[in-house]
Amino acid sequence: MRASARIAEPTSLWGTFDSIRDHLFNQFQDTSFDAETGLSLPELELEVEAYLQEHPDQPRVLQKANVFRIVVTRGQIYIDPLDWFVDKLNHGGHKILPTHGGESLVKRVFLRYLDEAVQGPLAEGSAWIDRVNKLGYASMPRGGLDRGHISPGWDKMLSGGLVGLLKEVAEARTVLGEEATAEQLAFYEAVEIVYRASIQFAERFAKLAEDMVPKYPQYEQRLRTIASACRNVPAHRPRTFHEALQFIWFMHELVEMEGEFVRSMGQFDRTLYPYYRADIDAGYLTREQAKELIKFLWFKFYTRTRGKLNGKNFVFGGQYPDGSEITNELTYLALEAYEELNTPDPKLSVRFLPTTSDKLYQVVADLIRKGHNAFVLMNDVPAVEALVKRGKTWEDARFYVPIGCYEPSVEGKEVGCTMNVTVNLAKSIELALHDGKDPLSREQLGPHTGDARHFTSFEQLWTAYTHQLDYFLENAITYIRAAEGQWPQINPSPLLAGTIDDCIARGKDIGQGGVHYNSVGFVGAALANAADSLLALKQAVYDEHRFTMDEVLKALQCNFDGYERMRQYLLNRVPKWGNNNPDADWMAKRVAEYYCNKVHTFVNGRGGPCQAALFTLTFAWQKGRLTGALPDGRKAHESLAPGQGATYGRDKKGVTALMGSVTTLDATRTPNGAVLDVTLHPTAVRGPEGLDALVNLIKTYFAQGGYALQFNVYDTDTLRDAQRHPENHAALQIRLTGWSVYFTILSQEEQNQFIDRISHGF
């Protein structure tokens, strides 16, 4: 059996990646589907609509499953004989970027369901969500339902294939017997429909690959390898490394086509190592051939979006459920492939333990200082403990993967909805100072908490601040619960659900609480702006009586025009978060702990916990544009602070002081993730001494309890030259937030932000 799956190409068919890279770059733009392989997109649309019109009263999970079946079994397909992996289906969304394609036919069904909910049972909550999004208080998904931060159960899928999952469905239905509800039976039927259709989908590619051999005899062995793989996966457990990679790529494409965003591709070096090791030991694959397969696969994620979206997360390092370390030969091989690709996508998460070898630290640090910065470095000690505190077992917590950017979720057992809401922690200060009114729009956004000019103590101001924050958070969870109540009607997900523990046994979809762990993420952004503003008011108004509250409010209302002396005092004479100052650190800790504690009192609509996070992403400048002047000296519309770190330019005492401040926070209070952005000058990490310094910096931060790190290593001269001569810096990567991009594709405004953030220090 194994010999039939062997990759036995002539030498000329290996080592081809670099020579066909330009061809592969256009693989999602230049697809020409063969009319003989299935229905055209207009024909497919008609068949989908006809089905929906014929079955208007069918449970939505079955409607969606059957739409999925029609699309994957009837749509046109295409195979590129130069590629090792197949994927092209003419379903209306094979090109991810909206400017180059559209939404898949299956996803359009979800959007139709969502529109109905937003205009119906979720109308009140949706209107409130639209308002807080528009006014810069928060970022919440349309309708309040986050379907975009999930990870399938990769190990569960691979262990027995879809046939194994179908057997589980049959067994679960038998166990329930006559006690099975109509809802459970519909779910089981939907799972069977989508898995059988997925198997048929792969078999269609197998037949097409075999049919292409006479036309492309020079690629016969590759096409026969593809055909053999597609006859085995995703139906069964992979037999080879190539088949394992094809399996995960198939399922990535199909789950996203179903309507979810796969934000983690799992623990690469744990899940795929057995297949790699077996092929190497048996002589079916060389190390270099395995690396080339990785490059072919990973390049798809980059070419799909041209680096313009937020990257696909692959995880390395970390530990098995028993606490033993994962790092192995495949870890380092994949890192080599990543360096040679030199693309910002995929992005890599690396989990570190106190016992992690120096080799892994050095390899990762060396890549970062060379400009390959699509990394987030995670400290397993607080990450795992934080999950245990929120109800996970130690074994499950050790099995986490970062979802999206930094948000841990137990692989195969949790649907985290990790970014259901991101809240501007500084906005509550604006509202507290203006009796609940947004100063830019003049709309009443929060509750009435009194005229700030009449507050006689800082504690009165603090009470107003927390009341504003509480009001927002309580409204947010109310509307999130309402959205989750509509989840089964909005986005049934049988393809995904069957891969995650307990859904099949319970006969419940992910939106019905079928998953073992059901959580919701609340992300707190702009911590530094909130803490610095509160400390500025405490010191300047209440402790020193340097300014009256009326004077501060007037200065804020005119964006400090005519109040530059006040602004300079607030900027330079009040301690700032990120400088290891005890007053500033105390205030930031007070804000963070209040926020996290409040979030952790909530139970979501699926019966699971709500989990706090502290990071910012693109929220910093998107919502900064909608935030007025703040008492920390920040002018209206400027960017907010990044991650857990200091406001740009205000960490005056260097990176060690910055880390000293951040590690005063208890990282186990942020089970939904946290990150510190660090920018270094190239001279600081140059040579062997610089590499050692960077490794020691990472180790020190982790030893002090820091949660996660991400780096940029560049200088302003290089960035300015890249603005003037982009053709000379096409490969220059910038860690944007939770992902990396090429600097030259950013707008001039975005480029200037990166230059401004380091100009003060260099």
Looking at per-residue pLDDT, the higher value among 104 and 328 belongs to 328
Looking at per-residue pLDDT, the higher value among 34 and 171 belongs to 171
Enumerate residues 6+ apart whose C-beta is below 8 A from 81: 212, 216, 219, 222, 223
Q: Are strands 88-89 and 77-78 parallel, antiparallel or unpaired?
A: antiparallel
Q: Are strands 520-525 and 610-614 parallel, antiparallel or unpaired?
A: parallel
Give me 371's structure tokens: 């400009």
Enumerate residues 6+ apart whose C-beta is below 8 A from 445: 131, 132, 135, 137, 431, 436, 437, 438
What is the percent of the chain with per-residue pLDDT over 70, rounded to a whole number? 96
Give me 665's structure tokens: 């926070």
Cis peptide before 234, with omega less than 30 degrees from 0?
yes
Looking at per-residue pLDDT, the higher value among 751 and 204 belongs to 204
Q: Report the pLDDT averaged over residues 371-378.
A: 91
- Mean pLDDT highest for which of 96-105, 306-315, 374-383? 374-383
Read off the pLDDT of residues 121-146 as tens digits, 9 standing for 90 and up.
999 999 999 999 999 999 999 999 98
pLDDT band at 345 (very low <50, low <70, confident <90, very high): confident
pLDDT band at 12 (very low <50, low <70, confident <90, very high): low
Tell me the C-alpha distance between 19 and 140, whole Å. 44
pLDDT of the residue at 430: 98
Is residue 332 classed as helix, strand or coil in its secondary structure? Answer: helix
CA distances, 736 to each of 308, 618, 628 (Å): 11, 8, 24
pTM of the model: 0.94
**Both ends of the chain: CA-CA distance in Å?**
61
Give me 212's structure tokens: 């292409």
pLDDT of the residue at 34: 87
pLDDT band at 160 (very low <50, low <70, confident <90, very high): very high
pLDDT at residue 101 greater than cutoff 60: no
Residue type at position 538: K
Give me 114's structure tokens: 């969502």
pLDDT of the residue at 7: 44
pLDDT of the residue at 717: 84
Q: Report the pLDDT averaged over residues 719-735.
A: 79
pLDDT of the residue at 4: 40
Read off the pLDDT of residues 35-91 as tens digits, 9 standing for 90 and up.
999 999 999 999 999 999 999 999 999 999 999 999 999 999 999 999 999 999 999
β-bridge partners, 423:
138, 524
pLDDT at residue 756 greater than cutoff 80: no
Q: Report the pLDDT averaged over residues 691-705.
A: 97
Q: Are strands 708-713 and 375-379 parallel, antiparallel or unpaired?
A: antiparallel
Read off the pLDDT of residues 577-611 as tens digits, 9 standing for 90 and up.
999 999 999 999 999 999 999 999 999 999 999 99
Is residue 12 classed as helix, strand or coil in its secondary structure? Answer: helix
Q: Report the pLDDT averaged over residues 403-430.
A: 93
Stretch among 7-21, 30-44, 663-677 having the lowest mean pLDDT? 7-21
CA distances, 562 to each of 104, 545, 546, 551, 555 (Å): 54, 20, 17, 11, 8
Looking at per-residue pLDDT, the higher value among 148 and 689 belongs to 689
Domain ranges of the chain: 1-119+152-262, 135-148+417-493+525-674, 264-416+675-762
pLDDT of the residue at 725: 82
pLDDT at residue 762 greater than cutoff 90: no
pLDDT at residue 261 greater than cutoff 60: yes
Mean per-residue pLDDT over the chain, rounded: 93
Buried b (16+ CB within 10 A) or exposed e, 450-482: eebeebeebebbbebbbbbbebbbebbbbbbbb
pLDDT band at 465 (very low <50, low <70, confident <90, very high): very high
